[in-house]
Structure 1
Amino acid sequence: MIEVEHLSKIYGSAPAIQDVTFKVEPGEILGFLGPNGAGKTTTMRILAGYLPATSGTARIAGYDVHENSMAIRRRIGYLPETPPLYREMTVEGFLHFVARIKGVVAGDRTERVNWTMERCNLTQKRKILIRKLSKGFRQRVGIAQAIVHDPPAIILDEPTVGLDPRQIIDVRNLIKSLAGEHTIILSTHILPEVSMTCNRVAIINRGRIVATNSPENLMAQLAGGAGYELEVDGDAHQLQKLLQIVPGICMVELVKNPELPPNRSLIRIVNAPDAEPGRDIAAVTFGAGLGIHEMRRTRVTLEDVFLELTTREQPLEPLDDEIEESDVTANAASGGEE
């Protein structure tokens, strides 16, 4: 549905994005992540037709963004970080206005506006001036104007910024309900949102894509920090030696924690990505005569992945299935020639 290939945007001699390549399958939600200034908004503006690229191509629903700008605008819904709202209009009046300028046939507008207000839970606010709405409801109106013409692709730039936890949950559920019928690119700084909302993630850093995959696969690729933390009574040094020879355990370290009572120690254990040594850890600890006060599993989070990928120098190597998919696409584009 959305294909971006070698996209670059240069201001003078300063590149905003460089060689950006990714794609979004029909019905998928892609989380687009990156630090401030990494190039997220630039990429989204290019896809929305508001900003020309310096080089590269981008296609939405088969149309080239640069060559078919008007066709693209009819097929996308775009919500910038600040929703484009006319605050002196009512919710219903504004959505009728947007439907008209986005080319919805006159006979279909009322039905489309009513459907959109119901989908975005705005029916009870239809006669309210937009300026009188809470920020959460204004954000809903922003999403409503992006979908009122039923576009196949939706681009949302920080749709939950500044919202309270209840409003974030409401907007998240709304976005998830749009998946399947629409292909969505979602830019956000709230990393838990990505795990709970998105099928795949593209991480951009310093204008370049450093990883694309599902959140689960990205965390699996960087699972070097997965393991256990153990709070015990007794001779922790002896236990450390015993645990180091347990199969599947890569590292055992004693962690200084001045808040622990005397004779109690904290042990951090890192295991191999495919190992589950929890039962053996408990058996060795009890066998050594130590008491367990607490044993908890530690896992790599999307935040860990994000921090590592936006501080390392090289992009994350793709998984084998990603390499095969890329090779097939390149081979098809070249007509099968070597």
Structure 2
Amino acid sequence: MIEVKKLTKKFGSHTAVDGISFTVNDGEILGFLGPNGAGKTTTMNMMTGFISSTEGEVKINGFDILSDPINAKRQLGYLPDVPPLYGDLTVEENLKFVCDLKGVKKSDRKEMLEEICRIVHIEDVYKRLFKNLSKGYRQRVGLAQALVGFPDVIILDEPTSGLDPSQIIDMRNVIKSLGKKHTVIISSHILSEVSAVCDRVIIINQGKIVASDTTDGLAGRADNHVQQVSFRGSLEKALSSLNQWSAIKDISIVDEKENSVYTINVSGEQGTDIREIIFASFAQAEIPVLMLKPASDSLEDAFINVVNGAYDEVITDSEEKNEEVEEVEIIEESVEVLSEDEEVDE
């Protein structure tokens, strides 16, 4: 478990991170999102002990990263945006050096490194110089060094930066597999990657947390009033069926393919979810729907809205809200008990 409380970092008069607090539970994959310059990397560096905080605390499995750094750092592995490895050493030599730094017993190293190489798929480059590897393999080896000692917590800063689509998919699959045995934090500004692998998302902007929710919960806050539909059949019949509904305000043709396959954008009133209306219309017209989705990436919309301050309050997930309700109920019960006691005393 990771506990971050009122974490702050100031560089002179500039506040890079401004009193953020959050918790990451065991076995959770957390996405740490934000635009460039939001304070993501600074937060990662404080959480891993690379730099000290101005205020606040970070605890890794109960160990404070500043007051008990040795025990805290034993609990975590870190892959910064540039893998911290030596170009003139082979992959094997780099990983064995990390074993020395982490104090891994020599009797355990061979079996452990074989398993790590299998997890991140670097067996075929194990004897090669690190500087001769492609960007994708360098990231994998960087992830391998973070896994040395099999720490409970893995922190990854932009792990897919600079990778091609195939390499991104490979890295995504590795991260998913890590989530089965480790607590993982991924810092990124690539929404598709976070959406694909993370259980929960925290969005930071200008050094402050502006949202904390599941990916589905955050995406669900985006408006569903514009939907894109692909179907096979009569365009005229489809348009006629949709136009029966007063909630439908606009329809535009996006694409037309062979075999009478059309893609259209259907717009409703702002704040209205028109998906049920669309399905009902096409069912009534007996036209098969091939695809229905928001006209734009809903998670992307939510991210933009949050960063641009479209919401008046910080978005928090439903679990936190439920805990707040329970706390209020407990307080109210305590007040009632105290009031009864006072009446008895009188």
Q: TM-score range by the shorter chain?
A: 0.7 to 0.9
Unaligned runs of 5+ in 1: none
The reply on whether 1:242 has 2:239 as its aligned counterpart is no
Aligned-residue RMSD, C-alpha:
3.3
1:253 to 250, 254, 261: 250
The reply on whether 1:304 has 2:313 as its aligned counterpart is no
> Is the contact made by 1:4 and 1:21 (CA closer than 8 Å) also made in structure 2?
yes
**Structure 2: how far apart are the matches of 1:327 and 1:32?**
26
Decide whether aligned partners of structure 1 residues 269 and 283 sit closer, same or farther in structure 2, where only a CA change above 3 A counts. Answer: farther
Q: TM-score, normalized by length of structure 1?
A: 0.83
> Is the contact made by 2:29 and 2:184 (CA closer than 8 Å) also made in structure 1?
yes
**Structure 2: how far apart are the matches of 1:103 and 1:95?**
12
The reply on whether 1:323 has 2:325 as its aligned counterpart is no
> Is the contact made by 1:240 and 1:253 (CA closer than 8 Å) also made in structure 2?
no
State which drifts further: 320-329 or 192-201: 320-329
Decide whether aligned partners of structure 1 residues 267 and 177 sit closer, same or farther in structure 2, where only a CA change above 3 A counts. Answer: closer
For 1:99-114, what aligned pairs fall within 5 Å after superposition? 99-114=99-114
Provide Cα deviations, 1:95-143, integer angstroms capped at 9, x if missing partner: 0110111111222122222221222212222111111111111111100
**Structure 2: how far apart are the matches of 1:280 and 1:118?**
50
Q: CA deviation at 1:221?
A: 2.5
For 1:14-93, what aligned pairs fall within 5 Å after superposition? 14-93=14-93
**Structure 2: how far apart are the matches of 1:33 and 1:124?**
33
For 1:133-148, what aligned pairs fall within 5 Å after superposition? 133-148=133-148
Decide whether aligned partners of structure 1 residues 320 and 81 sit closer, same or farther in structure 2, where only a CA change above 3 A counts. Answer: closer
Partner of 1:276, secondary structure, is helix
> Is the contact made by 2:255 and 2:263 (CA closer than 8 Å) also made in structure 1?
no
Partner of 1:317, secondary structure, is coil
Matching residue of 1:282: 282
Matching residue's letter, 2:140: R
Q: CA deviation at 1:19?
A: 2.1
Provide Cα deviations, 1:295-317, integer angstroms capped at 9, x if missing partner: 85232522122111111254443
State which drifts further: 316-325 or 76-85: 316-325
Q: CA deviation at 1:8?
A: 1.3
> Is the contact made by 1:233 and 1:265 (CA closer than 8 Å) also made in structure 2?
no
State which drifts further: 72-81 or 310-319: 310-319
State which drifts further: 204-213 or 215-224: 215-224
> Is the contact made by 2:146 and 2:154 (CA closer than 8 Å) also made in structure 1?
yes
Q: CA deviation at 1:189?
A: 2.4
State which drifts further: 292-301 or 173-182: 292-301
For 1:205-244, what aligned pairs fall within 5 Å after superposition? 205-225=205-225, 227-228=227-228, 232-233=235-236, 242-244=244-246
Q: CA deviation at 1:223?
A: 3.7
State which drifts further: 167-176 or 101-110: 101-110
**Structure 1: how far apart are the matches of 2:328 and 2:167?**
43
> Is the contact made by 2:18 and 2:208 (CA closer than 8 Å) also made in structure 1?
yes
Decide whether aligned partners of structure 1 residues 240 and 126 sit closer, same or farther in structure 2, where only a CA change above 3 A counts. Answer: closer
Provide Cα deviations, 1:73-116, integer angstroms capped at 9, x if missing partner: 11110111011110111111110110111111222122222221
Q: CA deviation at 1:43?
A: 0.5
The reply on whether 1:10 has 2:7 as its aligned counterpart is no
Provide Cα deviations, 1:140-190, integer angstroms capped at 9, x if missing partner: 110000001111101100111101111111111111111121101011222
Unaligned runs of 5+ in 2: 257-261, 336-346
Provide Cα deviations, 1:290-335, integer angstroms capped at 9, x if missing partner: xx89885232522122111111254443344321235668999x9x
Decide whether aligned partners of structure 1 residues 326 and 137 sit closer, same or farther in structure 2, where only a CA change above 3 A counts. Answer: farther
> Is the contact made by 1:116 and 1:144 (CA closer than 8 Å) also made in structure 2?
yes
Partner of 2:276, secondary structure, is coil
> Is the contact made by 1:29 and 1:197 (CA closer than 8 Å) also made in structure 2?
yes
Decide whether aligned partners of structure 1 residues 87 and 254 sit closer, same or farther in structure 2, where only a CA change above 3 A counts. Answer: same
Matching residue of 1:131: 131
Decide whether aligned partners of structure 1 residues 265 and 318 sit closer, same or farther in structure 2, where only a CA change above 3 A counts. Answer: closer
Partner of 1:17, secondary structure, is strand
**Structure 2: how far apart are the matches of 1:275 and 1:254?**
14
Decide whether aligned partners of structure 1 residues 239 and 273 sit closer, same or farther in structure 2, where only a CA change above 3 A counts. Answer: closer
**Structure 1: how far apart are the matches of 2:301 and 2:110?**
47
Provide Cα deviations, 1:218-270, integer angstroms capped at 9, x if missing partner: 1123344454558944897x8776311xxxx4x522559899xxxx9966233
Identity percentage of aligned residues? 39
**Structure 2: how far apart are the matches of 1:17 and 1:279?**
46
State which drifts further: 124-133 or 221-230: 221-230
> Is the contact made by 1:96 and 1:110 (CA closer than 8 Å) also made in structure 2?
no
